[in-house]
Amino acid sequence: MKKIAFIGAGSVVFTRNLVRDLLTFKAFEDAVITLMDIDEEKLMYATKSVEKIIQAGNYPAKVVSTTNRAQALENADGVLSTICVGDIHVWGKDMEIPMKYGVDYNIGDTRGVSGIFRALRTWPVMMDICRDIEKYCPDAVFLNYTNPMAILCRAMQGETKLNVTGLCHSVQGTAEMLANWIGANKEEITYTCAGINHQAFYLTYKWNGQDAYPLIAKAVEEHYQEEIVRNEMFRHLGYYVTESSGHASEYVSWFRKRPDLIEKYCTHGTGWNPGIHFMARIDYEKNEANWRKEFVEWADNPVNLQRGNEYAAHIFNAVFGDGAMYEFNGNVRNFGLIDNLPAGCCVEVPVLASKKGLEPIHVGALPAHLALLTNISARIEELAVEGAITGDPRKIYQACYFDPLASAVLSLAEIKTMVREMFEANREYLPQFKHFD
């Protein structure tokens, strides 16, 4: 009987999808699923979801619900993190403050000034979780879904000896999207994908062993309006990037620095419905009501027990389940993996999961122009990690100075003023910083 701990189980949709996937494996049919969250209402909804899945599948699994992290982690074989530090009002500030200065991020949870401050808030909590894992289940496989993925994984892998990697669904999701575009069955597609989280590229993409990039080039023109930013990047860079157009638009300097460019490239066909004014798109109270409504609608319908395309359950099955080896794209430190990205930074590369554990695979060098693009973000993340760990605000200012979007819009002095305001807005979440100057 295996034990799987969900930390941040109040991310209800994530939790129920990952549990559904886990229970499709014979090794986990009788698992103890331990759900932990500090939000008791969301924890209740997550628990009801898992109970419904167990009942629908007639599984002998058991669900345990708790607000006690130590209880959730004790003797766990696998741990998943889907936490979010602060509510929608808090991360709303991540968008509102840059917007006041003319920096229009779209999601703001991965990189850029918004993503850096999300990382700074989250890092102390993630370290507490890591220390608890070291104490209560040091041999567990720890899979992180919490953003900002690269900064957090780089920090955890540098500060602990845990068996931890970070997972994102953009690689397999985009691979499937491209397969659909060219008329291929996703089971007939193979690829090598590498870079950094949300800025990884398909270095090869093959259909039944044959290069499919000529077909992708034609499909990009046919489907241009569906993913304008990514398709525009492909036109100029020659390789397809993994993350959605909404996210991709905020990581570079090309698409969101002027209102006319936002209208041309970002307002349509991004999948995230971005626009010039973030706060005009978000209604805090409506957001809270929506997730409750979504749960009720889900609960009123039969449960779909078919396995999804997330990596987590496959990884657990390979390492401490039936042992079937599984290759996935994971976030790990760059020690001999990508030759022309900084040593030790967090990269997203193929990883082999097996009874031997998690083994990252050497990719080699990225094409020079892709290395140039991803080096910027990777080095910014290195600065942000150093600042988060040491509590040195100068590192955070320096990381933000080089953010491609912020630096395309603002001067150095303006960026510093904006970042100082971000520090003040997040003061209660940043115990590692004694001052902000």
pLDDT reading at 288 higher than 70: no
Residue 213, both tokens? 């990039």
Other Cβ atoms closer than 10 A to 40: 10
Percent of the chain with pLDDT over 90: 87
Picking from 134, 423, 401, the residue whose alpha carbon sits closest to that of residue 432 is: 423
Question: Mean pLDDT throughout 298-318?
Answer: 94
- Write out 21-77 in H/E/C secondary structure: HHHCCHHHCCCEEEEECCCHHHHHHHHHHHHHHHHHHCCCCEEEEECCHHHHHCCCC
Q: CA 324 → CA 22, 166, 173, 310, 350, distances in Å? A: 14, 20, 22, 16, 16
pLDDT reading at 291 higher than 80: no
Question: Mean pLDDT throughout 320-329?
Answer: 96
What digits encode the pLDDT tens for the residues 156-167?
Answer: 999 999 999 999
Tell me the one-letter amino acid at 206.
Answer: K
pLDDT reading at 272 higher than 80: no
d(CA 333, CA 155): 10
Pairing of strands 210-211, 199-207: antiparallel
Please name each of the domains of the chain with its CATH number.
Answer: 3-89+110-166 (3.40.50.720), 90-109+167-276+310-437 (3.90.1820.10)
Q: CA 420 → CA 103, 397, 410, 414, distances in Å? A: 15, 8, 14, 10
Q: What is the pLDDT of residue 290?
A: 77
* Integer-rounded Cα radius of gyration of the chain: 21
Q: What is the DSSP letter of 432?
A: T
What digits encode the pLDDT tens for the residues 367-380?
Answer: 999 999 999 999 99
Binding site for substrate: residue ranges? 147
Burial 347-383 (b: 16+ CB within 10 A, else e): bbbbbbbeeeebebeebeebeeebbebbbbbbebbbb
Question: Which residues have CB under 8 Å from 400's CB, separation 6+?
Answer: 113, 116, 406, 415, 418, 419
Other Cβ atoms closer than 10 A to 396: 26
What digits encode the pLDDT tens for the residues 15-68?
Answer: 999 999 999 999 999 999 999 999 999 999 999 999 999 999 999 999 999 999
Q: Please provide the average confidence, as pLDDT, over all residues in the chain.
A: 94
Binding site for Mn(2+): residue ranges? 168, 198
Confidence of residue 292 (pLDDT cuts 50, 70, 90): confident
pLDDT reading at 279 higher than 50: no
Binding site: residue ranges? 147, 168, 198
Tell me the one-letter amino acid at 120.
Answer: L
pLDDT reading at 273 higher than 50: no
CB 140 within 8 A of CB 117: no
Q: What is the DSSP letter of 196?
A: E
Catalytic-labelled residue, pool 169, 236, 247, 362: 169
What digits encode the pLDDT tens for the residues 222-271?
Answer: 999 999 999 999 999 999 999 999 999 999 999 999 999 998 998 887 65
169 given a catalytic annotation: yes
CB 277 within 8 A of CB 305: no
d(CA 162, CA 140): 8
CB 331 within 8 A of CB 150: yes
